[in-house]
Amino acid sequence: MSGKKAAPAMDRSASMKTLAKVFRVIGKYRLLLLLSVLLAAATVVLQLYVPILFGDAIDLIVGPGNVRFAQIGEILIRILVLILISAFTGWLMNMINNHLAFRTVRDIRARAVRRLQVLPLSYLDKHSAGDIVQRVIADTDQVSDGLLLGFTQLFSGVVTIGVTLGFMLSKNVEITLLVLVLTPVSFLVARFISSRSFRMFSRQNETRGRQTALINEMIGNEKIVKAFGHEQAASEQFRKLNEELRHYSQRAVFFSSLTNPSTRAVNNVIYALVALIGALRVMAGGLTVGGVTVLLSYANQYMKPFNDISSVITELQNALACAARVFELIEEAPETQEARAELAHQGGSVDIQDVSFSYDPARKLIEGFSFHADPGMKIAIVGPTGCGKTTFINLLMRFYDVDKGAILADGQDIRGVTRHSLRRNWGMVLQETWLKKASVRENIAFGRPDATDEEIIRAAKDAHSWEFIRRMPNGLDTLIDDDSLSQGQKQLLCITRVMLCLPPMLILDEATSSIDTRTEVLIQSAFDRMMQGRTSFIVAHRLSTIRTADQILVMRDGRIIEQGDHETLLRQNGFYTSLYQAQFAGVGEGA
């Protein structure tokens, strides 16, 4: 039993911490917040003064033939004026609340996107793209809806409760105290239910994130799913997640839907007691009929905010559960602190000094890796899948930092310079291509937005992409995305992108893997021209593309086991020779 009771307490604690974080964001709009509260108070006071006027009007109806119409008319005019003013202040309050809610969510979403830009790749590797998108888009939208309801109904509700009590005390202390004594019952009921609904909403949102990630994977790779007949398995996987989401959603809705009816039942009991005691006081001469009418109206008005607040609690619990997921992203530790020094490129020498690295400390990947590259050298890296080739490239670019040792560029430890200045000196073409939804021109000029059309066309001709670009409907102005071109065309555009930037050092990771042999030969000649005088690292499986490399590093199990030029390695008749023969002599190698 004790274990079951502990969970809601933890949920309440987490909920309050999240709410405090939201209010810290709102803090910069404290003037809008104050104005909203003042307008809420003005609206409520004006609305709650109307029942007093109605009570006065009722007391002016003394009996048959004794109705003071002139005074009643004056009261009705005052009521009309108060209603119009309260309507205007209410409209103004809603406008401010809209601005307040949407600006707050805009700031939260902006912080989330900014944090994504500085998070280490290890975080992105461990979290699915669908879940991250869910947090930044859908979860923040839910926060917006919750805040809007909270600002609009919560503020007004709290002010209504306070002002109503003041007016009730002015009419009858005994009935007011009765209402106050019974009020905590509504609070206890709402709190008991909301503590359980928060936990369910948290699990619902976490499951929805996993569902979004699965849908994103299946739709983004539908060809692979169909090619391997994975449709049924994918549907079954989705069905299980959908069932899990249904379970949590139903429980969340069930608990939250109990709040409003439960508090209404308590409030109806309080209303009935006020009517009973008020009637007794009228018969005893302690109250007028108009006074009882006012007290009944206030009892109803006093209970209404509790009903509104209880209905808002459901939305707020969901919003806070979503906000907790967004703040979890925002509070993730960023990449290690940036150094302020800039990489002063001189020649392009690279020193790898006893480097060790692993993604998982329990599984060693690269150990004791050392190498020196002179400026302008062309270094090829070969080896079986999983030997650490691409990981080494990630370390060169500082997508990950080494666990041990150091990597020096032109004598400077790359951890001692800004990542931007380091990556500005490297041009990288990967096997995996990426294009944004924009024109061909924008995609090519991604690294040099100020490039002229002449420079872009020259780079496209050098990369042999101009032939298909000029045949496109609008040439460089043709809008494309990641799905509108073939894999080979996308890779040619990525190569063109690097050709345009012409950085001092190059990294080519299977850069021509999706290109036909004839085009590959042409691009290889363009690469050879581009690599002249530039330190270049080439990861390749096709050994025919690296015969002219100054140095070939043969990697296995995270270590360099052989190095030298192509002819030297063949004469050694070692692991490189077996790789070469496997490709050109058809000799397979055991697993």
Same-domain pairing of 256 and 387: no
587 DSSP assignment: -
> 459: which residues sit within 8 A by CB, 6+ positions away?
444, 496, 499, 500
At 6 the pLDDT is 33
Same-domain pairing of 418 and 467: yes
Higher local confidence (pLDDT), 275 or 444: 444
Same-domain pairing of 369 and 306: no
Among the ranges 9-13, 215-219, 494-498, which has the highest mean pLDDT value? 494-498
**What backbone torsions phi and psi does residue 371 show, to the nearest 5 degrees?**
-170, 150
> 421: which residues sit within 8 A by CB, 6+ positions away?
342, 343
**591 found inside a domain:** no
Helix, strand, coil percentages, rounded to 5, for the chain? 65, 10, 20
State pLDDT tens for residues 334-385: 877 667 788 876 678 889 899 888 887 777 788 888 888 888 888 988 888 7
**345 found inside a domain:** no
Query: How many residues appear in the chain?
Result: 591
Same-domain pairing of 306 and 390: no
Instruction: Tell me the average pLDDT across 545-573.
Output: 85
Same-domain pairing of 138 and 273: yes
**7 found inside a domain:** no
**338 found inside a domain:** no
At 75 the pLDDT is 82
At 590 the pLDDT is 36
Residue where the block lists tokens 């974080």: 21
At 85 the pLDDT is 92
Does residue 571 surpass a pLDDT of 80?
A: yes
Q: How buried is 467 (Cβ within 10 angstroms: 0-12 exposed, 13-18 middle, 19+ buried)?
A: exposed
| Structural domain range at position 145 | 18-330
Instruction: Tell me the average pLDDT across 319-343.
Output: 82
Count of domains observed in the chain: 2
**337 found inside a domain:** no
Same-domain pairing of 135 and 188: yes
Does residue 9 surpass a pLDDT of 60?
A: no
Report the distance separating Cα 418 and Cα 398, nearest Å.
Answer: 10
Q: How buried is 591 (Cβ within 10 angstroms: 0-12 exposed, 13-18 middle, 19+ buried)?
A: exposed
Helix axes 69-118, 30-59, angle to 10 degrees: 160
443 token code pair: 């995609």
Average pLDDT, the chain: 80
Instruction: Tell me the average pLDDT across 440-463.
Output: 89
Instruction: Tell me the average pLDDT across 432-459.
Output: 87
Could you say which of 299, 330, 361 is where a domain stops? 330
Instruction: Tell me the average pLDDT across 253-263.
Output: 75
The lowest-confidence range among 183-192, 214-223, 276-285, 542-551 is: 183-192
Where in 339-433 does DSSP place strands (E)?
350-357, 366-373, 378-382, 404-409, 412-413, 426-429
Per-residue HEC secondary structure of 98-163 comes to HHHHHHHHHHHHHHHHHHHHHCCHHHHHHCCHHHHHHHHHHHHHHHHHHHHHHHHHHHHHHHHHHH
Instruction: Tell me the average pLDDT across 39-52.
Output: 83
Cα–Cα separations (whole angstroms), residue 49 to 38, 94, 137, 163, 583: 16, 21, 43, 10, 91
Report the distance separating Cα 437 and Cα 443, nearest Å.
Answer: 8
Look at residues 48, 329, 73 and name the one whose alpha carbon lies nearest to residue 165: 48
Could you say which of 275, 297, 330 is where a domain stops? 330
The lowest-confidence range among 87-101, 238-252, 335-349, 548-562 is: 335-349
Instruction: Tell me the average pLDDT across 293-314.
Output: 72
Same-domain pairing of 309 and 411: no
**98 found inside a domain:** yes
The lowest-confidence range among 116-120, 359-363, 453-457 is: 359-363
**341 found inside a domain:** no
Higher local confidence (pLDDT), 270 or 323: 323
Same-domain pairing of 71 and 210: yes
- 3-state secondary structure at position 21: helix
Same-domain pairing of 417 and 533: yes
At 88 the pLDDT is 93
- 3-state secondary structure at position 448: coil
Does residue 460 surpass a pLDDT of 80?
A: yes
Higher local confidence (pLDDT), 442 or 124: 442
**3 found inside a domain:** no
> 250: which residues sit within 8 A by CB, 6+ positions away?
none
Do residues 380 and 540 touch, judged by C-beta distance below 8 A? Answer: yes
Report the distance separating Cα 311 and Cα 512, nearest Å.
Answer: 60
Report the distance separating Cα 362 and Cα 292, nearest Å.
Answer: 76
State pLDDT tens for residues 483-529: 778 877 888 888 888 888 888 888 888 766 666 777 677 677 777 77
Same-domain pairing of 270 and 410: no
- 3-state secondary structure at position 335: coil
Same-domain pairing of 280 and 404: no
- 3-state secondary structure at position 178: helix
Do residues 561 and 376 touch, judged by C-beta distance below 8 A? Answer: no
Same-domain pairing of 199 and 286: yes
Say which CATH number the domain at 434 has. Answer: 3.40.50.300
At 4 the pLDDT is 35
586 DSSP assignment: -
State pLDDT tens for residues 50-73: 877 877 777 777 556 666 778 878
Could you say which of 271, 297, 330 is where a domain stops? 330
State pLDDT tens for residues 147-190: 767 766 777 777 788 888 887 787 778 887 877 777 777 667 76
At 406 the pLDDT is 92
Binned at pLDDT 50, 70 and 90, residue 416 comes out as: confident
Say which CATH number the domain at 318 has. Answer: 1.20.1560.10
